[in-house]
Chain A
């Protein structure tokens, strides 16, 4: 029911966007005739260049960039429950990429609603980008060698580490207290491998059990019911679930890099997105964006 409604509204949004794109145009609109976009990435605008790849052209024709994002990760991708709008670093990044595709600034892309967002989870994001439901996934997606065989990743835009969230009353204070405990991790995430590697490197003799859950809310519920002792995912995500009954342990492991993901066949789009990320990093704009969202 809900997903059907979402689909319908997505179609409506897409249709409206197509119309507005046709009516106003984007880059060539009269509203911004003055200068080149202030936040323009280093790479030349794809739309201006003649050699637009087929996959990018398809998005230009559609008039909207479909992006899969997190809707429950504060500072990265969070749906504002008041307005229904998406907010966060990854959302801004999506607008920058849209700006590149449609040859306008990120602000214009946002104002003209050139990006349609769809909430994804660790499990759904892969299939959604594969079946074309979304063009890009910008959803705290960790780059791994195995995943690189299946999807295109851009240069990392952020480096995070995995953290451990425990209940205060459990008395757990460090990773060495976790022998025999149950650690809940998210399906399709790299937390488990990271934990084991970290223990091996540091010589910790800790042998916990791992249980995988589909989605962070079920992990939070499992922790609250004490079905698991530890909730272990990326620290950026954990921050959204930390409250006065829980603490995030100081241990951090499995430094991991987030990249923008596209379907393996869509090389043109991957290059374009990579250009945007590199451009933002080189120009120092990425640091500004991180500061703006209060991300260390």
Chain B
């Protein structure tokens, strides 16, 4: 292991495949992560709002979505999309779409929960005050509640983004042409596993570390800026 680590010949071999395999893989991972995050946010906001709404059917829909996707493994979900969707839609699912759907729907469920708890953390009084000023539901959400929610949920949202990036690596199992796929492919081809996986980890780190830093910074900031507190009931 240690001698492998400093094997110059093997590192040379790695740098030869870096532009042709690792870089395209890295870009694929980045694209899937960005589009996946977008999808997850959209789904998360919709279902997060659903679960806090008073409409029964919306609430039920949201619960089913969240519970189902939170409580089944991502690998199973992606394998399902990969192996079963072609039978349903009668064609191949492009790898990019597969990845975006996979991590997007999965993390959408988590983000829905994050948003639900964020909204519930805003005191009822804020809603009541807004309604008393003549705001309707959407306006209340848009101008009063969500701006406060965002501050509360930012740290956990950044955490979700972090996990989403790492979870895109599940694509490697279905030949997803992502970073992990190329690392795995080259590694098993040549047997230079140290040189295959270490830079791969480093490249995931490159994406995730700034996100983690951001999450930490948001957490600190969230603690410093005041959020409305529940008032004591005045008799």
Contacts and interface: CB of A to CB of B under 8 A. Distances in A.
B185 A226 contact: no
Contacts of B177: 211
Contacts of A122: 188
B189 A227 contact: no
B86 A227 contact: yes
A187 B86 contact: no
Interface string A108-140: 000000000000001100110010000000000
Given A187-B184, A226-B92, A227-B86, 18 more contacts: A122-B188, A126-B191, A127-B191, A127-B193, A146-B190, A150-B191, A182-B92, A184-B175, A188-B189, A211-B175, A212-B175, A212-B185, A214-B184, A218-B173, A222-B175, A227-B83, A227-B92, A227-B174
Interface string A197-220: 000000000000001111000100
Contacts of A130: 191
SS class, residues of chain B in contact with chain A: helix
B82 A227 contact: yes
B173 A225 contact: no
A225 B87 contact: yes
A192 to B, nearest CB: 9
A213 B188 contact: no
Interface string B148-178: 0000000000000000000000000111010
Interface string B190-233: 11010000000000000000000000000000000000000000
15 contacts: A127-B193, A146-B190, A150-B191, A182-B92, A184-B175, A187-B188, A188-B188, A211-B177, A212-B185, A214-B188, A221-B83, A222-B83, A225-B82, A225-B83, A226-B92
Contacts of A226: 86, 92
A58 interface: no
Contacts of A221: 83
A185 to B, nearest CB: 10
Contacts of B47: none
Q: Is the interface of A mostly helix, strand, loop or mixed?
A: mixed
Contacts of A147: 191
Contact of A214 (B86, B173, B191): B173
Given A211-B175, A212-B181, A214-B184, A187 B189 contact: yes
Contacts, number: 47
Contacts of B92: 182, 226-227
Interface string B51-80: 000000000000000000000000000000
Contacts of A225: 82-84, 86-87
Nearest to B192: A150
A232 to B, nearest CB: 13
Contacts of A187: 184-185, 188-189
Contacts of B84: 225
B132 to A, nearest CB: 57
B140 to A, nearest CB: 47
The 7 closest A-B pairs by CB, nearest first: A188-B188, A211-B175, A123-B188, A126-B191, A187-B188, A212-B185, A225-B86
A121 to B, nearest CB: 9
B224 to A, nearest CB: 47
Nearest to B191: A126
B198 to A, nearest CB: 15
Interface in A183-198: 184, 187-188
Nearest to B175: A211
Interface in A121-168: 122-123, 126-127, 130, 146-147, 150-151
B122 to A, nearest CB: 45
Nearest to B1: A131
Contact of B188 (A126, A150, A151, A211): A126
A188 B191 CA distance: 8
Interface in A223-282: 225-227
A47 B87 CA distance: 59
Contacts of A227: 82-83, 86, 92, 174
Contacts of B185: 187, 212
A188 B82 CA distance: 22
Contacts of B190: 146, 150
Contacts of A146: 190
B95 to A, nearest CB: 9
